[in-house]
Chains A and B, each alone.
Chain A
Amino acid sequence: MKPAPFGYHRPATIAEAVALLDALQDDVKVLAGGQSLVPLMNFRLSVPAELVDINGIAELTGHDVTGDVLRLGALTRHHELERSATVRGAAPLLALAAPYIGHPQIRSMGTLGGSLSHADPAAELPGIMLALDARMVAASARGERIVPAAEFFVSHFTTALEPDELLTAVEVPVAAERTGHAFLEVAARYGDFALVGAGAAVTVDEDGAITEARIGCTSVAPTPVRAAAAEELLRGATPDADVLAEVERVVAGALEPTPELKASAAYKRRTAGVLVARAVRQAWREAGGDMRGEEAA
């Protein structure tokens, strides 16, 4: 299948880009990595009249840590998340999830901004951004605004971005001391879109008890889901077998997933619980939870 014709624009700056989005109004799409958009265009399921290619905008590239914030440009490629020592140090959950994002060729081109803006319910990054309480920086001809992750993902393939807005950067709080991370996913094949996924960041105190758990679930709803009830349960607790069984139950109970061709709603619900429990335990151990205080069963 070949795509339908379109007009092509390649702005050099954010200002130029948002001016274009403003001028071209409804029938325009932003081209970043293209790994989600171009297949849709090849299928002619997406037929934008105009394409704004943002890959030439230097302002959108790069990532660094300032204070306790890791700021990632929207054009940060998935393979950078995989390899960057900065990312690994500041937001290990991103580095852990990156190898699950598609396959090497996808990671060469695919971008953070593109993935988050596309908001595929089965994508890995939205769930992580939700768990980490990231802040999305959006620019338009009208100026810049910040959208917290909790408000950013509205429905499947729908974000809070206005049609003339461009996601320019993501700000992620740097991981606290004594925090462990884990990301687990079930997919039809390794690297495919998640059938169910869970990412966890667990912070412990000197005795190994959990002071804070941040858990994001993927592919269990039209948007990523924060396992708030489980997080609450874990505060102050040590994840022994009973606690984890409760976590599993509470996560499964809170979800009403949409079934897919190969995964029933019941399967997603149950498996989300299993993956969360496992991710929590793994993250807790990585945080040093089981070296101090009680040994979990």
Chain B
Amino acid sequence: MIGERRVRREDLRLLRGRGRYVDDIDLPGLAHMAVVRSTQPHALIRGIDTSAAATAPGVLGVYTAADLPEINRPWPVHLAHASLRKTVMRALPDEKVRYVGEPVAVVVAETRYQAEDACELVEVDYEPLPGAGHLRVAMELPVPIHDGIEDNVAAHVTQTTGDVDAALAKAPHVLRETFRINRGGGHSMEGRAVAARYDRAVGEFQVFDATQTPHQIRALIAHCYDLPEEKIRVVAPPDVGGGFGPKAGKYPEEIIVPWLAKLLDRPVKFIEDRYEHFVSCTQEHLQEHEVEVAYDDDGRLLGLKDVFHQDTGAYAPSLIVPLIAGTTVPGPYKIPNLHIEFYSIFTNKVPSSAVRGAGRPQGVYVMERVMDRIADDLGLDPADVRARNLIQEHEFPYPVGLTFRDGSPLTYDSGNYPGLLQKGLDKIDYAHQRELQAKRRAEGALRGIGVSVAVEGVGLGPFEGATVRMESSGRITAIMGAPPQGQGFETTYAQIVSDAFGVDADLVDVVTGDTGAIAYGVGTFASRVMATAGPAMTTAAREVKEKLFQSVAAVLEVAPEDLEIRGSDENTEIGVRGTQVGMPLAQAARMSNVGSPGVTMRAGTVPGLTATSYFNPSSAGYSSSVQIIVVEVDQGTGEVEIVEWVVGHDCGKVINPLLVEGQVLGGIAHGLSNALYEESLYSDDGVPLTTSFLDYPIPSAREFPTIGLYDQETPSPLNPLGVKGAGEAGTLGVPAVIVSAVEDALRPLGVRIATCPLSPGRIGDLIAEAPGR
């Protein structure tokens, strides 16, 4: 049932070690691909000698761009934008490399071990060029990273509403500061993975891909091979070990592997290892926001101007991250005059694309730094300053005045930000926390309290679809194109169908991520699936139910309204209310789906108990979250201890609270890692410095306190279920709230923080250099 804390069906296989991830799929005759990757951040390729590799033990083939001309055509832009300057992406480069880790050649061998041995024998003759490991270096780089783009600016986009310059000119107070924030990679525990075989009998590619977007991958493969999409089937297996955004990207290996399966007449597999994930899987890089904010004596925002530079790495498949970051900045606050402007800069790093949060953590961080600055300047309580500026409950739908990354006007559909904030303040007993802080300060401890409020665009278009089918067994199959990476679709969509149909969720089998099972799909990213596939699934289920009821009503000679579904499991039947008259679902299904060969159906029977529905939202919906945290900083070592932490989220109607809590907690953990632990670092000329978990810490259970969760439900008017999205919610406000709390802790020392992430080393140095020491 919707709203049930239902345990997951998929756990039965996952807990017993019987999951089916790409690397577990048995494909007899499988050969293994390894990739020769650029060791240079920026270099011309003078030549590639594969002769030694080709004769190494176990090698079946070695391929460069020159060997794969049939499939090496330029890719279409992932998400076009008028301001995005044209560059070329293809499977393998033929002229130059633009980042360490870029695929240059591939080797297929009997084992992965042998393939890696042979990779070491491939000789690439590089002519190094100056490389850029920082966007400021890129802006001065003597050799452009892409031909014709001399300044390495991938895009320059400006959005305004109102008149910010006037607001800044007239305001009683103006703040000007630059805030920096860096992130890193997705680091799902399963890396990228793709395995494929080619069926010669029917001329079809079958591709198993741990992707978040199987239909999009199919389209790209079809484009690269110049084949109709029907000749390519992409299946994201039932089990994918995390996605978080990077697996929604398009990668050379996904284009190359299926083709080599055809060339070699053997299934081929590529499993990304962790080093490769660090250097070749998309990430989010540095953003530098130069902010000017106008406010009045009461701390009310009058105008905000944000000009920021975003490091997009070696390619810009889209402008998703900066578009989202920029439009997230205003957040839950009323700001009549806005100017959001960004430059997306090419550097010699792995390309940037969305990682859980997708630019929103950066936007929230900037806005929440501003709120803390205002509070500090005017001597106001930080929670109070935020409350004064929040959009009120009666002000929805609220037009912000900007265009969101989905192309629709940024309009918040529903929410109750003051309610969510107050609930959190009550839960943590904010006034008492301030008293405790004073007491601890008197004892010489550095205790701080941080607050952050975030709004998140979710449920993006264009659409998502579902097919529901009643099988001749009486079970119901629910098919969706969007695949899961741990979100529990097999359980939650069974709950939705169960509700729409009126049967036990146990009778519903959810099938996901198979382009062969449903014609069209977009994919799982941006917290979009529940708000799109949910309504589609509901509609399809209701249509099938209607057909079933009509059919059975005709045969039983009653009205459809007289029928009900009753019983459970194999004894589920459809029957006339108040009587013993009925038939098992299986019988009803066979009646409509099979009939008798050559025999006319009874009048009124509806043939084919199946329906497909696609739902396209009219715009994005908006979830919201609040984080309040109490920390203590060790003055001697810079270490941060989390004393109390509450997080509130509002993702509209909740289908399965047990799972939504998991999503929020998981998002929070990723956010904490971005705030205090992980950071992707490069030398100034573009050599990656963090290429293993030893240099790139991700917190374990040991690093976390128990987090107090609370929630609120403001249903979305944009879809019949009233759902929004929850996949990224927890992440958004964490970097902001951690920096806020640590700065508050160090306030007596006069420390001000404008960078993220923090670490004991950074905090220790901030303390040592503090004016107030």
Contacts and interface: CB of A to CB of B under 8 A. Distances in A.
A–B direct contact (CB < 8 Å)? yes
B112 interface: yes
A190 B698 CA distance: 11
B765 A193 contact: no
Given A4-B117, A191-B702, A261 B636 contact: no
B764 A267 contact: yes
Given A189-B699, A266-B768, A2 B637 contact: no
B275 interface: yes
A143 interface: no
Contact of A189 (B112, B689, B703, B764): B703
B608 interface: no
Nearest to B700: A189
Nearest to B639: A186
Interface in B743-773: 759-762, 764-765, 768
A67 interface: no
Nearest to A268: B761
Interface string A186-230: 101111110110000000000000000000000000000000000
A188 B697 contact: yes
Contacts of A189: 677, 697, 699-700, 702-703
Contacts, number: 72
Interface in A8-27: none
A266 B768 CA distance: 9
Interface string A74-88: 000000000000000
B525 to A, nearest CB: 29
A1 B764 contact: no
B695 interface: yes
Contacts of A103: 700
Given A188-B759, A189-B703, A2 B113 contact: yes
Nearest to A275: B637
B692 A43 contact: yes
Nearest to A273: B636
Nearest to B760: A186
A44 B694 CA distance: 16
Interface residues of B, number: 30
B275 A43 contact: yes
Interface in A219-272: 260-264, 266-267, 270-271
A13 B443 CA distance: 60
B279 to A, nearest CB: 12
B689 A261 contact: yes
Contact of B761 (A190, A262, A274): A262
B101 interface: no
Contacts of B230: none
Interface string A280-293: 00000000000000
Given A186-B637, A188-B697, A261-B681, A271 B764 contact: yes
Contacts of A44: 116, 120
A278 interface: yes
A188 B764 contact: no
Contacts of B638: 186, 267, 271
Residue of A2, A4, A103, A190 with highest tally of chain B CB at under 10 A: A2
A264 B697 contact: no
Interface string B93-124: 00000000000000000001100110010000
Contacts of A261: 681, 689-690, 695
Given A261-B681, A267-B638, A190 B702 contact: yes
Contacts of B636: 271, 274-275, 278
B140 interface: no
Interface in B613-646: 636-639
A190 B703 contact: yes
A192 B697 contact: yes
A5 interface: yes
A264 B699 CA distance: 21
Contacts of B703: 189-190
Given A2-B116, A266-B765, 19 more contacts: A1-B273, A39-B694, A43-B275, A43-B692, A186-B638, A189-B677, A191-B702, A195-B761, A196-B637, A260-B761, A261-B681, A261-B695, A263-B760, A267-B760, A267-B761, A267-B765, A271-B638, A275-B636, A275-B637
Interface of A: 1-2, 4-5, 39, 43-44, 103, 186, 188-193, 195-196, 260-264, 266-267, 270-271, 274-275, 278
16 contacts: A2-B116, A39-B692, A188-B677, A189-B697, A189-B702, A190-B700, A190-B702, A190-B703, A191-B702, A196-B637, A261-B690, A262-B759, A262-B762, A271-B636, A271-B637, A278-B636
